[in-house]
Structure 1
Amino acid sequence: MERLEKFCSTLLSKSKSLTPKKILSTLEDHPITYVDVQSSIEKETEGYAYGRKTLHRTDDVEILLLYWPPGVSSPIHDHGESYGVVHVVQGDILNENFRKVDEGKVALIEKEYGCESDTVVSYFGDIHRLSNQAEHPCISLHVYSPPLVEMGVYELIENDEVSPLG
């Protein structure tokens, strides 16, 4: 837990000029393990298929801890005006990236598999879906800057194409 607090306080001290590179560097300086987060894990969160706990939120940065049961996925989404860094603390996660192909439609372009200590960065305008396809839970640490205010959510139509829900 001490290392998690040090990681968070270091990010918060840089929050006015935070970049994905600075987040990755902070993760290297303060590697987060299951032992560091185990007391903060929430296995269920109303309105979500996964557990979600806000560790810190300011006007500049939001730090979350997510618990992914086996077989659970996020919706296909973007992060609005925020970029996001997802660090796998324990388990495995699949990150599927999509791109816009027509007005209101996107197509699957890439699948990335992340395992313990891997990190995935989503930049402005990226559209993706995270899922735990393993038989064991996944724990991930998420950092968004600025904090998530608005997200576009998309629905799968056919042939790996999706369209916005609204």
Structure 2
Amino acid sequence: MALKPQARNVLDSLKNPSRQEMKDALAKINMTIEELEPLLKNPSGKPYYRKLLYKSEDVELLVMNWSDLECAPHDHGDSHGWIHVLGGTSINYVYEVKNSKLPKEIFKEYHHQGRLFFAPKKGVHKMQGNGTEGLVTLHLYSPPISGMKVYDLEKCAACVVSDDCGAWWPDEQRQKLKDIKLKKEA
């Protein structure tokens, strides 16, 4: 599926966009779950399947459909962005990270169909569907995500993953760009 010309024009116009400009762009492109459904595939044992819809030097747009698995706590590198819940309900767990310590969950929130929520630069979170219906989300990030850090709370470790890895511990060694040992809270 190619993006509609109107959506491509909106995204092409984004140059180092602000938080508000990105939110406005998502509203203008007005993509629906029905339009995107042909692109969705089985996540095959992963928390989600993702499909890149658009990428420029300044932004990237992805659609994700979720399994019943939660993703790992992660940040978005030096990117920030908006997540639009197109179908289902997302449970979003937000973490606090201090220095080289293990992330600590500080709250969780539910985002229902139609809701948008912001993912701040260096903010750590994890997501999952609430299990009652399929979760489908549309993500707009700026700049395109690179240097994402994924956390494994059981191993007390983190790693920076390659751009082709999602928010889970990498299956392939080549996807693990940097290992990071964390300290437990005292």
Q: What's the TM-score, normalizing by structure 1?
A: 0.83
1:140 equivalent in alignment to 2:137: yes
Q: Which moved more, 1:107-116 or 1:95-104?
A: 95-104
User: Does the 8 Å CA contact 2:86/2:138 hold for their aligned counterparts?
Assistant: yes
- Cα deviation for residue 14 of structure 1 reads 2.5
Q: Partner of 1:16: helix, strand, or coil? A: coil
Counterpart Cα distance in 2 of 1:8 and 1:57: 12
Kindly indicate which of the two structures has a greater share of residues assigned to strand.
1
Paired amino acid for 2:158: P
- Cα deviation for residue 6 of structure 1 reads 5.2
- Cα deviation for residue 8 of structure 1 reads 3.5
User: Does the 8 Å CA contact 2:10/2:29 hold for their aligned counterparts?
Assistant: no
Counterpart Cα distance in 2 of 1:32 and 1:96: 25
Q: Partner of 2:27: helix, strand, or coil? A: helix
What's the C-alpha RMSD, in Å, of the aligned pairs? 2.4
How many residue pairs end up in the alignment?
A: 160
Aligned match for 2:58, one of 57, 60, 83? 60
Percent identity at matched positions? 26
Deviations, residues 9-66 of structure 1 (Å, cap 9, x unaligned):
1442232132221121123334332222122223336x84311101111221111110
Relative distance call for 1:147 and 1:33 in structure 2 (3 A) is same
Counterpart Cα distance in 2 of 1:21 and 1:78: 20
Q: Partner of 2:4: helix, strand, or coil? A: helix
User: Does the 8 Å CA contact 2:11/2:25 hold for their aligned counterparts?
Assistant: no
User: Superposition pairs for residues 57-136 of structure 1, below 5 Å?
Assistant: 57-69=55-67, 71-101=68-98, 103-136=100-133
Counterpart Cα distance in 2 of 1:118 and 1:6: 25
Counterpart Cα distance in 1 of 2:110 and 2:157: 24
2:158 counterpart residue number = 164
Bigger relative CO (Cα 8 Å, ≥ 6 apart):
1
Counterpart Cα distance in 2 of 1:11 and 1:152: 29
Show structure 2 runs of 5+ residues with no match.
160-179, 181-186
Paired amino acid for 1:81: D
